[in-house]
Amino acid sequence: MLKVIALVGNPNVGKTTIFNALTGMRQHVGNWPGVTVEKKEGIMEYRGEEYLVVDLPGIYSLTAHSVDELIARNFILEGNAEVIVDIVDSTCLMRNLFLTLEIFEMGAKNVVIALNKFDLTKKKGIIIDVEDMEKVIGVPVIPTNAKSGEGLERLKRTIVMMAEGKITTAPIIPRYDEPIEREIEHVSALLKETPLVKKYPLRWLAIKLLQRDEEVIKLVLKHLGRAKMDEILRHVGELEDYYKRSLDIVIASQKYEFLERLLRRFVRHVAEVRETFSDQLDRVLTHPVYGMLSLLIVFYALFQFVFTLGAPLQELLDGAFSALGEMLGLYIGNEALRGLIVDGIIGGVGSVLSFFPLVFLLFVGMSILEDTGYMARMAAMMEKYMRMFGLPGKSIIPMVLAFGCNVPAIMATRTLENERDRIITMLINPLVPCVARMTVITFLAGTFFPERKAIVAVSIYAMAIALALLSALLLGRLVVRGEDIPFVFELPDYSIPSWKTVILHSWERSKEFLHKAGTVILAGSIAVWFLSSYPEQVGTGTSYAEMLGRTFEPLAKLMGLDWKAAVSLIFGIIAKENVIATYNVIYGVSGEALGEVMASTMTPLQAYVLALVTTLYMPCIATIGAIRAEGGNRWALVAVMYNLLLATVVGIVVYTMGSVL
């Protein structure tokens, strides 16, 4: 079994760049067990030996306020790593070493500090005496510059020596006020009598109990019993009365004071802090007016980049799959088998795989925005507005991208650190009208409201977006439970992204699309092909799909629609454009002729309801696959059921109100 090296650190310290430098192309991206937080693993080779490198989520502390913190904490506690590499931003030692002290308090001794961005310290007038820092902190400290590769060879050598037991350490442990230390000793003495002593550092457990850590309280309660736990919590309350603040805050404050005293022993500031280029850019890019204008320009550029480059590639792939289907169709004599392979498998799966260029280019664009530091500014500007609906500022990115396509937009929710925020953003994303639904909206608006088509289309878009934001509020309160994460924002310095990192990161994120979404699409495409082909082809009135449409006709009638609309919506599950394409098949005409036929059989109100329901109801099969891949079966089911319910209710209300008016 390979020895495990864990990388831990704050967000934006260059952890991903160091991970890529250590592992090269030998990486695997998956999810941590039971959650959808991204887990990256890779193989580091050094002098013929291989080591498994695990990139833990970027975190600021180990308080278990978020899934990310809990994952990192449990990984360190369970002793899975032979070596923990703590990646620290040299220009922000106070904030970064807070996490380091928490790791030391957990009893971890096998720690190496990578002092990253060391080249920037001189520019900021910061002098760090690395030898003194090693003596004070008690573990090896290696200055690095992840982008240039400086220091990485020495880092590798130190990691390997520690993994082989050739380096001994003595990590410094923070000390607190006498009343707190006395209570830590008291709680530790109680815990000594339990089996916990064999698995956990008692001092760490005691500190976490004083901080009222819910996970630790649950753990200790099983072994210590309710009476002793109540005694501990009573003492905590007494201390909080003494300090007139939560002990969580008191302990954090005293840890920072301890850290400040340490830093004086190996850090000097030799120059005044001057306005940097990043500061100057921020005055424009985070300005309430200029910042919003910049945001619109950046999104426009991102859309142009993804769809200008990706659309031709998508069409090329789509054409290739069509050509493949036609070619295979010539060699398959059995009609049923030909239909299954050509229309069901190649037609269905191929139409989804053709999205891959868009997905990959989107992640390239997102990685560039992340690595330049702009993503943090974007989130900071939108935070105030999105929080009104229970979402973080960063949620604006997947929502805007959804106007292009929901599939890459759902995958873009990976950039949200908090699980609750990510799930809610994922669930409301299909309510944002994508390009496919835009074709249905524009066709129906142009056919039935030729004089007011723009207003009609905008009204449907506005209603969909308003419902998406209100749904975020509703789902956040009733369905997707989670802790309210403390509001922490960091604006890293702007930097030029490494193309190697951008490409690697984009590939690792987007290749999941190929083998995860594809499996669901395959099953779904075959099912829809079967329904539309048996016992007779759709259009004959006897296919299962049409029978299904007539089954749902009573429900459709509540929205003023008939069985043809129900069938169209069923086929729209494959791709929303199929809503109109199905009418082509049923009426046997297309283009303007189809518009004339539909206008003679439907009222403008019915057309408006059909456009609205098409926008809101069940996500397309590719989007469902993406939600399942990112959030699991449960949230894919919630998305389907919620959208169906919402579309039905809205459809009935709008039709009823429109009939009265």
218 is in an annotated binding site: no
**First-to-last C-alpha distance (Å) of the chain:** 73
578 is in an annotated binding site: no
21 is in an annotated binding site: yes
11 is in an annotated binding site: yes
What is the Cα–Cα distance from 248 to 41, expressed in whole angstroms?
A: 33
23 is in an annotated binding site: yes
* Strand ranges for 240-394 from DSSP E: 267-269
493 is in an annotated binding site: no
139 is in an annotated binding site: no
What is the token pair recorded at 221?
């309660």
Exposure on the CB side of residue 317, measured as CA atoms within 13 A: 16
Strand partners, 54: 6, 41
- Contact call for residues 436 and 351 (beta carbons, < 8 A): no
What is the Cα–Cα distance from 229 to 233, expressed in whole angstroms?
A: 6
Phi, psi (deg, nearest 5) at residue 267? -125, 135
141 is in an annotated binding site: no
Please tell me the total number of residues recorded for the chain in this structure. 661
Phi, psi (deg, nearest 5) at residue 141? -125, 120
The answer to whether the Cα torsion of 279, 7, 33, 79 is positive or negative is negative
8 is in an annotated binding site: no
9 is in an annotated binding site: yes
436 is in an annotated binding site: no
What is the Cα–Cα distance from 147 to 124, expressed in whole angstroms?
A: 18
658 is in an annotated binding site: no
Residue whose pair of structure tokens reads 């990112």 in the numeric block: 630
Of 31, 27, 29, which is closest to residue 632 (Cα–Cα)? 31
* Strand ranges for 65-151 from DSSP E: 83-89, 111-116, 126-128, 141-143
Q: 604 preceded by cis ω (within 30°)?
A: no
581 is in an annotated binding site: no
* Strand ranges for 144-271 from DSSP E: 267-269
37 is in an annotated binding site: yes
**DSSP-assigned letters across all residues of 439-478:** HHHHHHHHHH-TTSHHHHHHHHHHHHHHHHHHHHHHHHHH
58 is in an annotated binding site: yes
What is the Cα–Cα distance from 119 to 37, expressed in whole angstroms?
A: 32
What is the token pair recorded at 615?
């926008």
335 is in an annotated binding site: no
Query: For the packed helices 290-331 and 374-387, what is the interaxial angle rounded to 10 degrees?
Result: 100
What is the token pair recorded at 433?
């009208």
Q: What is the largest CA-CA distance in the chain?
A: 86
119 is in an annotated binding site: yes
16 is in an annotated binding site: yes
In this structure, the strands spanning 38-46 and 49-55 are antiparallel
36 is in an annotated binding site: yes
Annotated binding residues: 9-16, 20-21, 23-24, 34-38, 55-58, 116-119
Bind-site residues for GTP? 9-16, 34-38, 55-58, 116-119
Annotated binding site for Mg(2+), which residues? 20-21, 23-24
